[in-house]
Structures are given as structure tokens and as C-alpha cells.
Structure 1
């Protein structure tokens, strides 16, 4: 897989935030993966962690296009990560 096509962490928050942001990104042609280790662990019989530790991963090549969408979505002044 090319480096620009690899998925990297983009935003972490509640499940509702992640679903909303993912929807905004998809409407702009960018796709992501929701990583919810808490639910995955519970399904496998492991308990621990926090339910709010949900991450949205997007392709590295989409980061610059996605930053303004994130900024608008969360109302942040500076999201340079």
C-alpha cells in the first residue's frame, strides 16, 4: 500500500461526533474508518477502556482537504495537528 493511501488517526471523540464528521467527509468524497476499541473489546470478552475513545481514521492523502471540514465541524480556531 502506498504511504498516501494508508489510514491514519484524524479525530477522536464520542460516537455521535465521529458518525457526524464521517458523514461530512463522505459528502466531500473522503472516506474513513471508525475504530472503536471499547466495543471491539467488549465483543471479544475483554472489558476496560473508555467508551469515548472512538477514533476516525482517514487516508493520509486526504488530511489537507479534511482539515477545513473538521474545523467547521468542531468550530475550532486551530487544528494543525
Structure 2
């Protein structure tokens, strides 16, 4: 992802699904990051978020292409 650009969530779900979509996006040249409030909370000493609500984020410029890719994989 490009530093300084706005990111957008293109998928929210389990870590297994998020990792799969992340790999698929990487294969088509779209970099992404994972936002995991659940694990962050555990590391900080409290429970925060849900293990089924992990977010996959991409640059705003790549959001449309990423959403199309994910939709295609889900069909």
C-alpha cells in the first residue's frame, strides 16, 4: 500500500477468508493490509473486536478493482 493514501475496507470476515483474498489481490498486483482489532486487543491485554470481523484494506485507488476480484471469487 502507498503511504499517505486513504485506505478502504473491501472485505470483513474471518482471518482465513481475509488471508485468501489478500493472496488473490497480491497476485493481480493489488497490495493490501489486514486490520485485526481482536488480536490487537489481546496483545494490549483486553478483548477488543471480534475474530470474525477482520478487515482487508486497500488503497482507495484500487478499491473498485479489488471489490470486483473478491466478488468474482465469491461466485
TM-score by length of 2: 0.87
Q: Give the whole-Å Cα distance in 2 for the aligned partners of 1:35 and 1:60.
A: 15
Partner of 1:78: none
Partner of 1:69: 69
TM-score by length of 1: 0.81
- Structure 1 runs of 4+ off > 4 angstroms? none
Gaps of 5+ in 2: none
Q: Give the whole-Å Cα distance in 1 for the aligned partners of 2:48 and 2:28.
A: 35
CA RMSD of aligned residues (A): 1.1
Gaps of 5+ in 1: 76-81
What number of residue pairs does the alignment pair up? Answer: 72
Q: Give the whole-Å Cα distance in 1 for the aligned partners of 2:43 and 2:53.
A: 16
Partner of 2:38: 38
**CA offset digits 1:19-48 (Å, max 9, x no partner):** 000000000110111000000100110124
The structure number with the bigger radius of gyration is: 1
